[in-house]
Amino acid sequence: MSGAVGEMAFRFIAGGLIVALFSLGGDVFKPHSFGGLFGAAPSVAMATLAFTIGHEGSHHAAIEARSMCGGAIALCVYACAVSWLLRRRRMPLAPTLLLAFPSWLAAAGIFWLCLRLA
């Protein structure tokens, strides 16, 4: 049990440090709201990959990185669908988010299927 707690503590500390470093780097850019892009997903992904390389090796980390790329593509498809619905259809936010969610599922499913067939 203590090994699992130590691992969680390491993940928490390493992730927090990497997020803080990315956020500090994001403050260099204008506008400062752009810094939020650097404080979230990329820094967490870097922490996860660093931890995975240390515990599972680079081959396993490469598989995780490939999956992260698929998730990023699916998120981009979802963001484009939300943006299109909000701008073109002038829909309220909550229904738009729910209505666009299948686009994320479809993109992620297509990516997963492509990996299975390859």
Predicted pLDDT at 36: 58
Selection from 109, 20, 23, 35 nearest residue 71 by Cα = 109
Residue 48 CB coordination number (10 Å): 18
31: left (phi over 0), alpha (psi -120 to 50) or beta: beta
Domain-wise residue ranges, the chain: 1-56, 66-118
Q: Is the pTM of this model over 0.75?
A: no
Distance CA(103)–CA(78), nearest Å, equals 6
Would you place residue 85 in the very low, low, confident or very high pLDDT band (cuts 50, 70, 90)? very high
At 52-75, the pLDDT tens digits run: 888 888 898 898 889 888 988 998
Cα–Cα separations (whole angstroms), residue 41 to 5, 25, 36, 49, 116? 24, 14, 9, 12, 25
Would you place residue 23 in the very low, low, confident or very high pLDDT band (cuts 50, 70, 90)? low
Predicted pLDDT at 3: 66
